[in-house]
Structure 1
């Protein structure tokens, strides 16, 4: 496993963090941190940014005292090395208090209560996706213990955050988040993150079963892959980092991730940061929701548990989903209208500046702005690398795998460094376009490969059809056609 070099826990001051009059200061201002988050295209670990957060002391023991006898749902998974992912639809669930979880986690053989049927040596437990707003509904002051404003998001705190508490081995199957980018604050214990770039999506064999609006799952158990069934996975680039208490991980938009708890108890807090791209993504997700729910409900109207992720609690009727799609399209057009108004206002200001006789060189710069530049208000420039002891990039893994998994990382990795030493996470637009075109060819290769493996199997299931219909590349095209058509009708 290749941990990020130079990563320093927040519990100890990093070189360069600096001190003023004996007081510890943060390495980045909120404005600079936000600039990094909005421009960085690869995962990275922030150090020394949360040492003064009250949530820094939110161990599972502390939270058990805060929440007292509050019942929390834990997902129970098997500690096993299987090639099949443990999707949330196949797990058992237990309602228990944090105190009961901690007692069970001490591996007491005579345990009674909600965990009595789960041998600690064979099972892990995960209290995941616990939204603060429902977990601490009677203790709203606690929201202020999480200070995302330090990363340039004023007013953002625990209200927009999610809590995760797990035992050793707890994990969520490899997936990408449809919306936003992600900030993750590690409070207790360590978690190992396996990350894959968006360009490698075809190699991860995406699926929407189980269905969850905000997640695209991989069919692969990335820590023990079945390379006979999923041969293209050997081309995927794996980035790895072990996140330690006090550190904050930044996960860029649409990066795949598999996260596993590697200490007896882990606690982490995350918040998904909204992005402008989310407006179209909501349309894509609404299309996916409509198709998945329609076909799966028609297949078996009385067994949604088999395909609907437990985190999805909303209705799945066709009428509700049609309304959802219409709202997503309307919201996108409302957003675009507001941006047009902003652009027109900026252009008016630019014209006023020209009339006031500003210097010619400045005029030339302003004239070269496109609409996106006008929205940003500045001309895009190549920023100097922000990396250092307080911001550590997550790097491509060079871990030596067990013999049965060694085939995953063949090659010397030279293909992943661009000319002039460009970091693999920073691809130019033309290079991204070439990669997308290449990935479309890979999808076709996968189809041919899968069919050639079992020529006698002619049965096509609903899930097989959905894998094609709601493939992220397909829904993106459908959304664009739908939006374009709606624009013509207006």
Structure 2
């Protein structure tokens, strides 16, 4: 991305991202200890790229050819999408699927023709292929020794390996629709090729026009094709603050909780490994997801019980009956209360040890939690921002807002405008997106009303569809309020 007039540019080179210090890899000293890396992950409120942290990981050498040898002739499922500039997202429900080996994928990708194999009906010049969401435990079920090649312990999570990871293999143009993950935060290692990430902060959710159709547990999709947006249909997308970064081999991207992201492969073959890190907020998020599941499945199956393929994401394979979904909701609420009771028991024991005999008679449920609130914060806001800013350097690169128009935004590897770090009103604009604290329920209701107003069509619509109704009923802000009311009702 070109720097603005009079601005300086910070660039992290490929050498700084993937190479170790002079000498053998075994002599390389990582820039962050596991404890420090975890502290950063649990407190940082904007995306950032870790460099020089995985030089000694065996998984660092898992290119597609190597993986093809490890998997042998095992077929895997590829999602096939069109290379198009259509201003509508390519959701997974609109794609076709192919069962093929990695060797067949590489042959198709190299020959750029369908040939006579599983890809024979897909012209390489018009289609991309993506083996996404491949869980290690299923992919390498007979080769569990490879789990140890992924060492998330270096980021402060002892025992976390490939067993808690997923693999992504794609061709040029392969991408995931813009979405946010309901649970956890995300660590992503780029192994082969480059991927361009378009990220948007949680506070910009109204500008992304969230929807739960297609339905997938833990994924809130955007109606906007963020690379080729229809600004006539989605005018408030202009207000969204895009953060763009191109992730190269050896780099690890940290995606904070509830950050929207659209990810596209920009090289002929890309390989990535990710792991979702559990957070304290996930306990309530599971209640919100269960509420969403009950409502979406109840209304959509009532509308057309025999055609779930049009609204249910292919990744959803569980029973969607109302009885099962209600059981799931009750289980999520029970799990939340069990967690609170365990936490309160631990706190009470710690208080007794310290001579504090105060007890609480009810569960301490937050009345309103902002989606942008960090998972852990022990410092005053100003001190936290200064501490975070001091961490950035050649081995931790912040992903800052793009200065370009939403429909044209792109980004070269870590080229970022220094003007994003110029203090403004005593704050750093590069940090300001994630520093908002808890909001009141009144504020949430105001945001809902504001979004409803922003979605109002210029002319009256003749028909309100089930999907229109669901966009309101299971808006993330609404389900958060419903979950809080459910929980509070059990604590009175």
**Which residues in structure 2 correspond to 1:72-83 (within 5 Å)?**
72-83=76-87
2:426 is matched with which residue: 420, 424, 434?
A: 420
Bigger-Rg structure (1/2): 1
1:397 partnered with 2:394: no
Mapped contact 2:78–2:98 kept (Cα < 8 A): yes
User: What's the CA shift string for 1:353-379, capped at 9, x where partnerless?
Assistant: xxxxxxxxxxxxxxxxx999xxx9996
Residue 199 of structure 1 pairs with residue 203 of structure 2: yes
2:244 is aligned with 1:245 = no
- 2:391 — aligned with what? 386
2:276 maps to 1:272? yes
Q: 2:38 aligns with which of 19, 34, 37?
A: 34
Residue segments in structure 1 that go unaligned for 5+ positions in a row? 353-369, 406-412
- Residue 220 of structure 1: CA displacement? 0.3
Superposed CA deviations along residues 441-478 of structure 1, whole A, max 9, x for unmatched, are: 564345345444122x2310000000000000000000
Task: Give distance in 1, aligned partners of 2:128 and 2:376.
Answer: 50
Alpha-carbon distance change, 332 to 64 in structure 1, aligned in 2, over 3 angstroms:
same
**Correspondence for 1:168:** 172
Show the counterpart of 1:67: 71
Relative to structure 1, the CA distance from residue 166 to residue 486 in structure 2 (aligned partners, 3 Å threshold; closer, same or farther) is: same
Cα–Cα, structure 1 residues 116 and 287, in superposed 2: closer, same or farther, change >3 Å?
same
As a proportion of its length, which structure holds more helix? 1
Aligned match of 2:119 in 115, 127, 139?
115
Match of residue 158 from structure 1: 162
What is the correspondence of 1:190-229 to structure 2 with a 5 Å cutoff? 190-229=194-233
Matches within 5 A, 1:337-486: 337-351=341-355, 380=379, 382-383=383-384, 384=387, 385-399=390-404, 418-426=424-432, 433=439, 441=446, 443-455=448-460, 457-486=461-490
User: Which deviates further from its counterpart, 5-14 or 125-134?
Assistant: 5-14
Query: In structure 1, what is the equivalent of residue 11 of structure 2?
Result: 6
Q: Distance in 1 between matches of 2:292 and 2:143?
A: 37
Aligned residue for 2:426, secondary structure, equals helix
Shift in alpha-carbon separation, 1:104–1:440, aligned structure 2, 3 A: farther
Query: What TM-score, normalized by structure 1, do the two folds share?
Result: 0.87
Q: State the 1:401 CA deviation.
A: 6.8
Shift of 1:140: 0.2
How far, CA to CA, are the matches of 1:133 and 1:21 in structure 2?
29
Structure 2 CA distance, aligned partners of 1:192 and 1:443?
Answer: 31
8 Å CA contact 1:10–1:47 kept in 2: the answer is no
CA distance in 2, matches of 1:203, 1:231: 8
Instruction: Name the CA shift for 1:65/1:205 in 2 (closer, same or farther; >3 Å).
Output: same
Q: Specify the SS of the correspondent of 2:270.
A: strand
Count of residue pairs brought into register by the alignment: 460
Match of 1:361 in 2: none
Shift of 1:423: 4.0
1:199–1:439 Cα contact (<8 Å) kept? no
How big is the shift at 1:424? 4.1
Q: State the Cα distance separating 1:486 from its structure 2 match.
A: 1.6
- Cα deviations by residue, 1:253-282 (Å, 9 ceiling, x for unpaired): 000000000000000000000000000000
Higher mean Cα deviation, 79-88 or 104-113? 104-113
State the alpha-carbon separation in 2 of the partners of residues 60 and 80 from structure 1: 25
Q: Equivalent residue of 1:396, what SS?
A: coil
Asked whether the equivalents of residues 228 and 407 of structure 2 are also in contact (C-alpha less than 8 Å), the reply is no
The Cα shift of 1:111 comes to 1.2
Note if contact 2:365-2:487 (Cα within 8 Å) is conserved in structure 1.
no
Structure 1 position 237, deviation (Å) = 0.1
2:413 matched residue in structure 1: none
